[in-house]
Structure 1
Amino acid sequence: MYTIFFSSHGIILQLPCESGKAVTATFFTEQVLPNLIKNIKKYRPKIGTRGMKILIDNASSHTTKLTKYFLDIERLELLPHPPYSPDLALCDFWLFPKLKIYLQVKDFNTLQALGTGLYQYFKSIPEEEYRNVFTSGWEG
């Protein structure tokens, strides 16, 4: 399993999760979000996370007090995500269906090979496609 964050410019974070382990609030706030912030600051060196809004689903690790506290400390605004709202789940209706087609014709023997394959696939998507998914009918 991978945690994937993307913006209108492309993939910001692609982080493997330990096989067979659940994504807990501790993992999310100690591994995922710090890596996300570090990568955001690479893409936006002058302004970092200032003014940035993130959209994550309502998984329990995303909605705990620990996660909300971390986001408050980092001044990241969390966009509300109503339960069962696929219209807001950009990964569900745009990125994952594309990725599923790509993965059907690939065979990866190791987690590292999978990570490399995912990275190459995400980089092959033109920035314009990432931008369009945020601007065509989705208001955030």
Structure 2
Amino acid sequence: MSKYKINYIIAFVLFLVSFVVYALTVQPSVPFWDCGEFIAVSYSLGVPHPPGAPFFIILGRIATLLPIAENIAKRVNLISAFVSALTVMFLYLITVRLILRWKPEPRTFVDKLAVYGAPIVGALTLAFSDTFWFNAVEAEVYATSLF
């Protein structure tokens, strides 16, 4: 198997693991803070408090139209879970790319462990960190901004 295929398989597995964990722990209804406002505005395509978040609101409107959860609030909350899982995947891919620019061709097992193992640890550390996780399970613009 080529190194590119292994790299993308690892990235997809990281995406799946983080998305499943976030989807299982996502807020089932309206959480505290501004999330209720973003959910209501996504449903009605209104304007939230300044500075607003037009891209998130459009994504939220699309999510409200899809039958992916039992209520509107959970549908909009799942946007943050999906985008956060993509962020974890891209963090892994970017870190591998940076390491490969510095250390071009991993030949030994230790080199491969450094090239692929360290980004896995970094991506999973981000995925399960406290602040990132809380942003991943509620309808806030921070997950989309990190993406």
TM-score calculated relative to the size of structure 2: 0.30
TM-score, length-normalised on structure 1? Answer: 0.31
| Structure with more relative contact order (C-alpha pairs < 8 Å, separation 6 or more) | 2
Q: Which has the higher helix share?
A: 2
